[in-house]
Structure 1
Amino acid sequence: MSSNQKRIPFEEMQQVLLNLFLKYDFTPSKAQQLANTYSESTLDGINSHGINRVPLFIDYVEKGLVDINAEAEKVEGMGSIERWDGKLGPGIINGIKCTDRAIELAQKHGMGLVALRNTNHWMRGGTYGWQAANNDCIGIMFTNTQPNMPPWGGKDSRLGNNPFIVSIPRKEGHIVLDMAISQFAFGKINDYRLKGEKLPFPGGWDDNDQLSNDPKKILVKERGLPIGYWKGSALSMVLDMLATVLSLGNSTSKIAGKDLEVALSQVFICISRNNFNDTDIQERLLKEIIDFTHNVEPLKEGDRTYYPGERTVLTRERNKKEGIPVSTEIWKKVCALAN
């Protein structure tokens, strides 16, 4: 742990955040849901989309960009597919509600899809993947964002880093992929900045149009590097297209015209495993794939490979025992807001 961090017990973080959200007039149930989600994300080691995002979220609330009283509502239904309007409510509250609805549709039809428009940042996308897996559903979720990546071969940002989530329930530990389509999510880049560290690989372009691993230089213009270069550029564009046409909401091009990142479009897809009579075979096949990838000689002695979500559980268990590492600067900001 770096010198500019401290460890906070999970329960303390949860209580401080609960007090903060109550102070800003969220209902007790919404305040508790927000406090739980931000704390759980940070417990899992995702500070970039957990505690680090809280001051910015409160800033959006103060500016009236997040309607604390808004409730996402269904606007159209087509069997197992529904469109919802988030009414600019809190992204976490809307995301949990729409995932719950996708789970309900999946339990009824086998598969459920909820496309959500006019919502706000959902924070950690993996929250909804874990939620689906904990309800014995395969989950596929994605969102568009403000433009923060150039299309491959372009100079200025026109694409969002559009996080993409896939979760698969499993008795021995859920598989949860949670990734931005940029090499590093911008919250993660800022996390490295707060720790005073360089990125382990280039993460975007500096203001001289050179690829850089310096978070400060990348954050000047927010031009992230797509995963897989031209392939990530294409994937980002397709995810934006799907989120936009399925929800009839804003595309990244429309979000770009706003002063700040609001009124996003998101998709929540769930597939219920309760409709299968061969889940034991599925469990065996998943173990076969995991064992095969675990059983490889590491490049560096002492290293090992992991399946998506495996390290999250290990981090969660460690932080429950030792406390959660948090930026001292961020924790001071949060506590000042709560008091």
Structure 2
Amino acid sequence: MTKPTVNIPFNEMQDVLYKLLLKYKFSESKAQLMARVFAENTLDGVNSHGINRVPLFIKYVKEGIIKIDTEAEKAETFGSIERWDGNHGPGIINATKCTTRAIELAKTHGMGLVALRNTNHWMRGGTYGWQAANAGCISILFTNTKPNMPPWGGKDSRIGNNPFIISIPRESGHIVLDMAISQFAFGKINEYKLKGDKLPYPGGWDADNNLSNDPEKILKKERGLPIGYWKGSALSMILDMLATLLSAGNSTYKVGLKAFETGVSQIFLCIAPEVFNDKNIQETLLNEIIDYTHDVEPMHAGDKIYYPGERTLQTRTKNLKNGIPVSTEIWNTVLSLM
């Protein structure tokens, strides 16, 4: 049974979240930034890493897992590569700061990489892809997580769904790929649970080791299905290795030893495309690829082919006009925290 939703205007959601974060003693500037990001994530249709995540975020704050008075600081410099320590501060603040720094390094050197350790969940990874694209940079970003998928052929979760983002700036609409290495991000699985819906495809294993599209059965043991089966399993491992090695931080194994998901490792790589001195043809090259894929005949009449990020822009426009659809249960929970 589909559960009730309510439409909330973007400005109202942002204002409620700002006041809520002030209540929990965040500075005005941090409260403003986080309220905006939580609200924008929800505006873009990613409720799972927007408004739906707010109650858990506040729980982590109350339990001292997220340190409200700390943020990422530079630990080591290697030219255009830097290591930063998140000091267990808010993931949104740390990721925004490290993306900004990677952009600065890219503008100076052509390419910049910031490897971040000891940070918290960054919510929607695509936020920082959009940030880089808005600054005119290509970005490649990823994070490790707690163990929530079994390596291919295994029973127990030993690898993370390690979200992976690539963004490319484009005058007529940025290209932003934002995907977990699981078939469905766990926040998305929980979103289906809140709606009372089944997943459209199998998303993980149930307690009897059967693939399932039932969100409640998958969430019971948190054993997600890797994208591409064994290929996704291998990709998860590689991303974890790179994030851990480059940041000198925690691996998925170490994160999994903690009672809560904290102290994760993240990578922020930015490239300034202007260094190639061919800006006049870059848009043409991108449009060539987009037009070629748009032009394919769909398998089902009425369907349309999208490039990564295209539907996000459509959702953003629709929700600004009509209000953002939110689970009534979640919205009431957020208001009860005020």
Pairing of 1:297-336 with structure 2 (within 5 A): 297-336=297-336
- Partner in structure 2 of residue 103 of structure 1: 103
Alignment-derived partner of residue 290 in structure 1: 290
Cα distance in structure 1, aligned partners of 2:179 and 2:237: 15
CA distance in 1, matches of 2:54, 2:3: 22
Distance 1:239 1:71 in 2: 24
Give the Cα separation in 2 of the matches to 1:65 and 1:312.
31
Q: Which runs of 4+ in 1 moved over 3 A?
A: none
SS in 2 for 1:16: helix
Residue 30 of structure 1 deviates from its aligned partner by 0.1
The SS at the match of 1:29 is helix
1:51 aligns with 2:47: no
2:147, 2:23 → 1: CA distance? Answer: 33
2:144 alignment partner in structure 1: 144
Distance 1:237 1:124 in 2: 21
Deviation (angstroms), 1:274? 2.7
Q: Please state how far the C-alpha of 1:277 moved relative to its aligned partner.
A: 1.3
Deviation at 1:83, TM superposition (A): 0.1
8 Å contact kept, 2:3–2:194: no
Deviation at 1:321, TM superposition (A): 0.2
**CA offset digits 1:103-128 (Å, max 9, x no partner):** 00000000000000000000000000
1:77 is the counterpart of 2:77: yes
For 2:187, the equivalent position in structure 1 comes to: 187
Deviation for aligned residue 1:3: 5.0
- Counting only pairs closer than 5 Å after superposition, residues 209-220 of structure 1 correspond to structure 2 as 209-220=209-220
Match for residue 11 of structure 2? Answer: 11
1:302 and 1:57 mapped to 2: Cα distance? 40
What's 1:165 paired with? 165
- Rounded to whole Å, the distance in 1 between the matches of 2:249 and 2:166 is 22
| Alpha-carbon displacement from aligned partner over 1:256-278 (angstroms, at most 9, x marks no partner) | 10001000000000001232311
1:259 matched to 2:259: yes
Look up the SS of the partner of 1:118 in the other structure: strand
Partner of 2:154: 154
- Contact preservation (8 Å) 2:34, 2:92: yes
Aligned to 2:177: 177
Matched to 1:251, the amino acid is S
**Structure 1 runs not aligned, ≥5 long:** none
CA-to-aligned-CA distance 1:84-116 (integer Å, 9 cap, x gap): 000000000000000000000000000000000
User: Post-superposition shift, 1:46?
Assistant: 0.2
| SS of the residue 2:337 aligns to | helix
Separation of aligned partners in 1, 2:13 and 2:71: 26
Name the aligned partner's letter for residue 108 of structure 1: T
In the TM superposition, what whole-angstrom CA distance separates every residue of 1:3-46 from its partner, at most 9, and x where no partner exists? 51110000000000000000000000000000000000000000
3-state SS of paired residue (2:287): helix
Partner Cα distance (2:274, 2:132) in 1: 13
What code does the residue aligned with 2:117 have?
A: R
Give me the identity figure in percent: 71
Structure 1 segment 195-210 matched on structure 2, within 5 A: 195-210=195-210
Ranges in structure 2 where 5+ consecutive residues have no aligned partner: none
Instruction: Tell me, in whole angstroms, the C-alpha distance in 1 between the residues paired with 2:77 and 2:251.
Output: 21
Letter in structure 2 aligned against 1:98: C
Taking the aligned partners of 1:210 and 1:78, their CA distance within structure 2 comes to 47
Secondary structure, aligned partner of 1:154:
coil
Helix, strand or coil at the partner of 1:202: coil
Supply the distance in 2 between the matched residues of 1:78 and 1:316 (Cα, whole angstroms).
39
Output the CA distance in 2 between the equivalents of 1:279 and 1:173.
16
CA distance in 2, matches of 1:228, 1:279: 35
Corresponding residue for residue 123 of structure 1: 123
CA distance in 1 between partners of 2:280 and 2:49 (Å): 35
Number of residues paired by the alignment? 337
Distance 1:211 1:323 in 2: 36
Partner of 1:135: 135
- Structure 2 counterpart of 1:86: 86
CA distance in 1 between counterparts of 2:183 and 2:84 reads: 30
Aligned pairs for 1:24-35 (under 5 A) are 24-35=24-35
- Aligned residue type for 1:179: M
Q: Is the 8 A contact 2:3 2:196 kept in 1?
A: no
Could you report, residue by residue, the CA deviation over 1:291-336 in whole angstroms, capped at 9, with x for unpaired residues?
A: 0000011111111100000000000000000000000000001011
Q: Distance in 1 between matches of 2:328 and 2:276?
A: 48
TM-score, structure 1 as length reference: 0.99
**2:14/2:39 contact within 8 Å kept:** yes
2:270 aligned partner, one-letter code: C
The amino acid of 1:49's aligned partner reads: H
Which one-letter code corresponds to 1:319 in the other structure? N
* SS of the residue 1:76 aligns to: strand
SS of 2:127's equivalent in the other structure is helix
Aligned Cα root-mean-square deviation (Å)? 0.6
